[in-house]
Structure 1
């Protein structure tokens, strides 16, 4: 009887160790951080801007869409850098959409981003397009790092990231 009790005790200890190690490892593999990306628009004359807010890797290759502003998908092709990235990734939009963003306004996008991407060379990119005013691929780019910010080159005044 004692041998069986020892095996059962050893099995319980082994099972407990396995459960504990799984509880510590599995969440670590799937950890994500809440990220707030704020896009401040310059003051300009014209309608609201269509914006694509997305992630690229260190080589500039498209990775993930965080947000697309502007509800009419027929205009998404004007968000050239993002549209090319989506096309090369298989053609499906994997982010959320909302209304266009007007002159002088701000947009804050909240997303869960995998910890492995943060401070690892990934960047947040914004493409912008305003009807009759032109398209600005990569209007603003900033590292995916807490507190990072940068000015834009077209319709975007400032792009910033907070975690």
Structure 2
């Protein structure tokens, strides 16, 4: 009976124990609802990618991709250069493209150590047979910018963030 108790206790500990590093990563990350309102353009659904950009203007991480057909990723030219160098599995952060006038709400995860540290969120957009916008919207990754309504310059009318 004592061996059975020890085994049950061991399995219980394994179930709830996590390595410190993964706990620290989760503690440092925050989830935000990211609502994107598109302009009333005519045409196919837009592919939009949300990237974390460092203080030097370089891509650091892909946070979300709207548009699941990989054959169109090269239309997001600047992001695709970054993605092609270090292809990663982005299926967990990929959703449907979004059409003119529509609204999309997605959850993005942001490392809180990047907040107020010179980083930006870049929204790139592309529509088949139409213009590509490398900086449809760039949002400084600050507390104030995340609380504000941020206006786009291409297919994106505006973006709002809500802590989740």
Q: TM-score range by the shorter chain?
A: 0.7 to 0.9
Q: Structure 2 regions of 5+ residues with no counterpart?
A: 1-19
Q: 1:161 to 1:119 in 2, by over 3 A?
A: farther
Instruction: Report the TM-score when normalising by structure 1.
Output: 0.74
Tell me, yes or no, if structure 1 residue 133 matches structure 2 residue 108: no
Partner residue, 1:160: 160
In 2, the alpha carbon distance for the partners of 1:37 and 1:143 equals: 14
| Among candidates 88, 100, 106, match of residue 103 of structure 1 | 100
Partner residue, 1:91: 87
Root-mean-square deviation (Å) = 2.2
In 2, the alpha carbon distance for the partners of 1:38 and 1:55 equals: 17
Pairs aligned (count): 138
Instruction: Report the TM-score when normalising by structure 2.
Output: 0.74
CA contact (8 A) 1:66 1:109 kept: no
Q: Structure 1 regions of 5+ residues with no counterpart?
A: 1-22
Q: 1:92 to 1:142 in 2, by over 3 A?
A: same
Instruction: Give the 3-state SS of the residue equivalent to 1:116 in structure 2.
Output: helix
Structure exhibiting the larger radius of gyration computed from Cα positions = 1
Instruction: Give the 3-state SS of the residue equivalent to 1:102 in structure 2.
Output: coil
In 2, the alpha carbon distance for the partners of 1:34 and 1:72 equals: 25
